[in-house]
Homo-oligomer: A and B are copies of this chain.
Amino acid sequence: MPELMTRTGTRGEPAVDPDDVTIAYIGGGSRQWAPNLIQDLAQSPLDGEVRLYDAVPESAERNARFGNWVDDRPEATADWSYEATDSLPDALAGADIVITSTQYDPAETFVHDLDIPQEYGIHGAVAATIGPGGILRAMRTIPQYREFAAAIREHCPDAWVFNYTNPVHFVTRAMYDEFPEINAIGLCHEVLGTRHRLARYAREELGMDADREDVSVNVKGINHFTWVDEARCKGVDLWPVLEDLLESDHAYQRFTPEDLEGESVFTDNWQVTWELFRRFGVLPAAGDRHLIEYATWFMADGVEGLNRWGVRRTGSDYRAKHWTPAESDQTTDVEAWLAGEKEFELTDSDETFVDIVLALAGEKTYVTNVNLPNVGQVDGIEEGAVVETNATIRAGEVKPVAAGGFPRPVRSLISGHVDTIETVIEASREGDVDHAFEGFLIDQQIRTLQTDEARELFADLVAAESEYLEDWDLEGSSVLAEAERDLQ
């Protein structure tokens, strides 16, 4: 039985002092998140320092420059200093907060995650958190995050760890598996997106003045496959509104590939959401492009099948471009701002990070969705599995709310994915490839293959990404040996 108990150390000292927050940012060279964070902090009531650690030191240095540059600007009301470091221990030593947001070469690996399964007829929309691509990504990432967790145990065991890396459920689970007393939470935007959408309905259908923060939901499930069974806007029950919409044309739209041309891969038409709500009576709370990888009926007819529900597939070319600095749309701003080539305006992101830190520092009580090991907050899902629900955050504590359970069919869908996740986590303890393959095999996307095709797909993915799988015992695997024998 896991416990989520926090002991915050030295007698008489608070967990997080709002005037002196030390943040270690693993993956601090990020081109999008880090600049957002820097701006959010600059406008916050918090002061402190941020240590940026990255496998690519120059990215971290660039962000440190940017951070200090922002701090010097008059509109920055807070006081923050930034430094880059290439030493993980130095970054972590005594940190109050650790952010983890990094992974192996995404430009390359994401392409494999998307393209290789496609050869087997599996067209996941994102391929990032479940299904063949997602599971391989988990296999690459878990050992790395076990190392981070071990370093946190050594250098800042009481720190609050915010994991933003996908697959959030696998990765957060791995950190707890390595260091059960870690104070880690997995964070994700999908539920925030649902609340945005619900605020829109409150405005449109009830004429309320409403934004995301006015909407509260009772949310539960696993990351990217969460479900809502209560929703309110300023205390007004939105359920009758949703039930009315469900019967309207709004919830019966279908799309052709042409309809979606030119749309962003992030476009979300909620038609998968409505269909699942119609079938099971509870509302999914993640983007349709994620839902279809867990509720795999929608993948039955390949890309066209996805399109019909208004879902676009993330092309591997998009992935490659997005993650290649020189080509990504996102990459230029910081440098341009620093160089004075582009006008800078301090903006705030939609992130909850500052709100959570403020709550941990005792400045307010804040409720938001987080990923944590199940200690009872989700009924019917096994204890210890990382689940997503709301948590109440106060000075020095994050406590998940007991969100109840699911209609049986939904519980069944979720449990199946938990079985994959837990099998891979178990396998990762000893690097047991064959056991990981058992988790792979029972994944819903992969069940559309014969077992020997599944083995081949697995072997292809492993071969393409083997340099990132060094902690796995590839040599000792019978599954890989069988696959090899079949190919000869």
A279 to B16, CA, bound (A): 31
A184 to B181, CA, bound (A): 35
Choose from B230, B380, B401 the contact partner of A401 (Cβ within 8 Å).
B401
Q: Does A405 contact B (CB under 8 A)?
A: yes
Interface size on A, as a range, is 35 or more
28 A–B contact pairs at CB < 8 A?
A: A4-B402, A5-B218, A5-B404, A7-B239, A8-B235, A11-B244, A12-B206, A12-B236, A15-B232, A15-B237, A216-B394, A235-B361, A235-B362, A279-B438, A279-B441, A279-B451, A297-B447, A297-B449, A297-B451, A365-B365, A365-B366, A365-B392, A377-B402, A400-B401, A408-B422, A408-B423, A409-B439, A415-B415
Q: Does A296 contact B (CB under 8 A)?
A: yes
Q: Are B230 and A5 in contact (CB under 8 A)?
A: yes
Q: Does A444 contact B (CB under 8 A)?
A: yes
CB closest chain-B residue, reference A2? B404
Q: Are B395 and A367 in contact (CB under 8 A)?
A: no
Known contacts: A5-B229, A376-B377. The answer to whether A395 contacts B206 by CB under 8 A is: no
Q: Are A396 and B232 in contact (CB under 8 A)?
A: yes
Residue in A390, A404, A412, A454 with the greatest tally of chain B CB atoms within 10 Å: A412
Across-interface contacts of A365 in B (CB, < 8 A) = 365-367, 392
Q: Are B450 and A298 in contact (CB under 8 A)?
A: yes
Within 443-483 of A, Cβ neighbours of B (below 8 Å) are at 444, 447-451, 453-454
Within 226-248 of A, Cβ neighbours of B (below 8 Å) are at 229-230, 232, 234-237, 239-241, 244
A4 to B402, CA, bound (A): 9
A485 to B234, CA, bound (A): 37
Across-interface contacts of A305 in B (CB, < 8 A) = 450
Across-interface contacts of A237 in B (CB, < 8 A) = 7-9, 11, 13, 15, 396
Known contacts: A236-B12, A241-B11. The answer to whether A4 contacts B450 by CB under 8 A is: no
Across-interface contacts of A95 in B (CB, < 8 A) = none
Q: Does A6 contact B (CB under 8 A)?
A: yes
Known contacts: A413-B442, A441-B409. The answer to whether A402 contacts B376 by CB under 8 A is: yes
